[in-house]
Amino acid sequence: MEPDVERRGLGVFSVAPIGFGAMRLTGPNVFGPPRDRREAIRVLREAVERGVNHIDTAQFYGPNIVNELIREALHPYPRELILVSKVGARRDANGRVLADDEPHRLRGAIEANLRTLAVEALPVVNLRLMRNGEPDALFDDQLGAMISARDDGLIHSIGLSNISRAHLLHALQATAIACVQNLFHVTNRASQPVLEECTRRGIAFVPFGSLGFGATGPDAVLRGREVVEESVRLGVTPAQLVLAWSLAVAPNMLLIPGASTVDHLRENLSASAVRLDPEAFNRLSAM
């Protein structure tokens, strides 16, 4: 990556504002092998060639498949590449996502990531919460397992995913947090209090679903009237507009849009060069 390219903090690491979420490099519903394995490998290699140095993955993507693709495409990894995984969930034989968050299970999940990615340690691993509610004794024990894995050298930093502001504040009493990964996009800002707390504390906020899910419903984004009209006015694609808006929302925002084709990858990465004028930013912010 060129030295003058913008970087943002991810714990002690420094990464490009737009990384790559590898979840979509699987079959339908993040289950099973990709339809075109060769294209999946090509996407990963092109991402790194274009300056991506932050890849988000998980052992339960596939399951196993995404980590194996990353290893095949990129190992031995560039020194500056920051691989981030998550633990706390698993897939059953039918592809359902189930909680796998008992404290004694988290270390085994971290070790499984290390094996499939062929690394001795991971820069960041997120604890993905699968249960609603306030911080409790289970959360304390989960944090304890993550801290133990860090102290034993299996991971460098701890992240949290799918959490509330209360969880973040509670966790910070026990350990440093490198990043928070929550659902957040232009039409779903339920995590705004978490984002604001992260911004105050200089913690990276890494939204998942930054382009929404599907063409209709509460998490539809790219076909929204404001998005379509502003993208036409500015001469960018709806995806680029929405990603550029997210980057402009906060200086600690790190994006990990997914892509299953090289063309889609290039479209997403080009959003880092898009600068929204006040009219576009304010109109999207009012959605």
Sign of CA dihedral 143, 149, 150, 152: positive
* 8 Å CB contact between 154 and 179: no
Catalytic-residue membership of 77? no
Coil, strand, or helix at residue 99? strand
- CA 78 → CA 11, 14, 56, 198, distances in Å? 19, 14, 15, 29
The widest CA-to-CA distance across the chain, in whole angstroms, is 53
DSSP 8-state secondary structure symbol assigned to residue 159:
E
* 8 Å CB contact between 106 and 158: no
Give every CB contact of residue 20 below 8 A, 6+ residues apart in sequence.
44, 47, 52, 54, 55, 56, 256, 257, 258, 259, 265
Q: Tally the residues of the chain.
A: 287
Q: Out of 20, 61, 205, 208, which one is annotated catalytic?
A: 61
β-sheet bridge partners, residue 85: 125
Cα 268 from Cα 237, distance rounded (Å): 9
For every residue of 48-64, which 3-state class applies, written as one string? Answer: HHCCCCEEECCCCCECC
* 8 Å CB contact between 147 and 181: no
* 8 Å CB contact between 66 and 57: yes
- Catalytic residue annotation: 61
